[in-house]
Amino acid sequence: MSGTSLQVEQAQAPGKVAAQHDQPLLVALTRAFYWQQLLDDGMVASGSEIAQREGQESGAGSVPKSKIAKLAKVLGITPRQVEGQPEPFDLVGADQDVSDEHQYYGELAIHFGSGSPPLLLPVSKAERSRFFDAVQGGEAFIQVESLDNRIVFVRRKAIADAYFSSDDYDDYGPENYGAQHLGSHPDEAFWKIVEHLECPEYLDDEFSEQEIQTVIKKLYLDDADLDELIANGSIKPEDRDRVKQEEAETAELYASRARDITWQIPGHRSRYISISENKELYDLALEM
């Protein structure tokens, strides 16, 4: 086995029998080192593959939960990751086993002293903590990654106020935030599908037809949807065209969020560039 070696030394008093080894500890250390070496050498791709090997070596049809928990602790990952399951995103704060990176906190509102339009960003608990620490730090710019497909770079000295809101507090401050908040959609697959809806054939090798249609249903109302809304009294027949137009405009906001880069200049000026219309930006996005 190449790479780092593990060496365990034991002191021995002169003229006395060596103290007994802590056998379980040594076994655990050796196995942990072996697992890490498998990962470092590329012999296994993930903790879940290690778990599969352990199960096969023990002759078990499936890996016991107790062994999965030990593997997760040693490898510094969650039991879900050991089993090869992606960590779900908790939008309601009900799953205590989910990390702060995957738990919805609420909204972060940033107001600017220059009079520029404020920002309203849905964020995770971890992102809220990072922003709080960054505001009190010395970096010139602060990065915030929201749950609605925005990565925002803000000059720290330009911030006049910042408001945090949770489920129990929804007062974001005195200003109008417009239509910038499109809801929390932390799933990157959702935004990738939105980005390519005009050319869905580019998605065929990555997403199923059902996955693509699920996103389309979230963004657009077809005639059957409108008929149902009218039938159950949600909208009036005379409002049919207006509602359909509003949904189309909202869908365009989603598409813009998926494709555009925005520069907010002090005052009320903004500049927009679509990634799909700029080859350098498009190539850079593909590399990220």
Beta strands (DSSP E) in 5-118 are 104-112
- Cα separation of 101 and 86, whole Å? 13
Number of independent structural domains in the chain: 2
Alpha helices in 84-196 (DSSP H): 125-135, 188-195
Which residues are CB-neighbours of 150 under 8 A, at least 6 positions away?
121, 144, 257
Residue 144 is assigned to a structural domain of this protein: yes
Give which of 111, 128, 122, 112 is closest to 170, Cα–Cα.
122
pLDDT digits (tens, 9 = 90+) for 89-120: 887 777 777 788 888 998 899 988 887 888 88
Question: What is the pLDDT at residue 208?
Answer: 87
Residue 51 is assigned to a structural domain of this protein: yes
To which residue do tokens 């906190």 refer? 105
Residue 228 is assigned to a structural domain of this protein: no
Beta strands (DSSP E) in 113-230 are 119-124, 141-145, 151-155, 159-165
Question: What is the pLDDT at residue 259?
Answer: 84
Residues 42 and 63 in one domain: yes
Residues 174 and 137 in one domain: yes
Residue 104 is assigned to a structural domain of this protein: yes
Residues 66 and 137 in one domain: no
Residue 222 is assigned to a structural domain of this protein: no
- Cα separation of 108 and 228, whole Å? 36
Residues 63 and 130 in one domain: no
Residue 218 is assigned to a structural domain of this protein: no
Query: What values do phi and psi take at 14, rounded to 5?
Result: -60, 135
Residue 130 is assigned to a structural domain of this protein: yes
Instruction: Tell me the percentage of the chain whose pLDDT exceeds 90.
Output: 16
Residues 110 and 169 in one domain: yes
Residues 120 and 40 in one domain: no
Mark the ranges of the chain whose per-residue pLDDT is less than 70: 1-32, 44-63, 75-78, 81-87, 166-176, 263-288
Tell me what the pLDDT averaged over the chain comes to: 74
Instruction: State which residues form the domain around 101.
Output: 88-185
Residues 30 and 92 in one domain: no
Give which of 192, 195, 109, 191 is closest to 154, Cα–Cα.
109
Residue 163 is assigned to a structural domain of this protein: yes
Question: What is the pLDDT at residue 237?
Answer: 92
Tokens (6 digits) for 272: 């927009």
Question: What is the pLDDT at residue 16?
Answer: 40
